[in-house]
């Protein structure tokens, strides 16, 4: 079994996952190419919300993504407890989500995480 990644590594990988055009979504953790909801760790997933991206790059947290230690750092950056709610806010942009994940990674890295 692969050792769990550090939160900073998970956050960087999640940011990279949702950074390409069309790779980010709202309202659900992941979607297929046709827009259907799907579990983030499934092979047919092509776009993810912030939480779904963290789950995708850390499959050991599948079905309990909100417990992932990396999300603690995102919560510090966005100053909200609910990362999914923040991701889904009207007018939220893909660039804002990617930036928040990267800023959270920087914070985690600064503390050796």
Domain-located, residue 17: yes
Which residue range(s) make up the domain with 49?
7-108
Domain contains 2: no
pTM (two decimals): 0.91
The residue whose two tokens read 């990644």 is 5
Residue 14 lies in a domain: yes
Residue 49 lies in a domain: yes
- Angle between helical axes of 94-110 and 7-18 (0-180°, round to 10): 160
50-105 per-position pLDDT tens digit: 999 999 998 776 666 566 889 999 999 999 999 999 999 999 999 999 999 999 99
- Residues 12, 106: Cα–Cα separation, whole Å: 9
Task: For residue 113, tell me if it sits in a domain.
Answer: no
Domains identified in the chain, total number: 1
The residue behind tokens 């992932």 is 68
Any domain includes 1: no
pLDDT digits 0-9 by tens, 12-61: 999 999 999 999 999 999 999 999 999 999 999 999 999 999 999 987 76
């Amino acid at each position: 079994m692969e050792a769990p990644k550090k939160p900073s590594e998970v956050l960087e990988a999640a940011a990279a996952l949702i950074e390409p055009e069309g790779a980010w979504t709202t309202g659900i953790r992941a979607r297929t190419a046709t827009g259907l909801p799907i579990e983030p760790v499934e092979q047919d997933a092509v776009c993810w919300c912030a939480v779904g991206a963290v789950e995708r790059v850390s499959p050991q947290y599948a079905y309990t993504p909100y417990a992932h230690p990396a999300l603690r750092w995102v919560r510090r950056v966005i100053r909200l407890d609910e990362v999914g709610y923040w991701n889904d806010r009207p007018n939220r942009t893909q660039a804002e989500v990617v930036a928040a994940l990267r800023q959270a990674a920087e914070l985690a890295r600064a503390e050796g995480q």
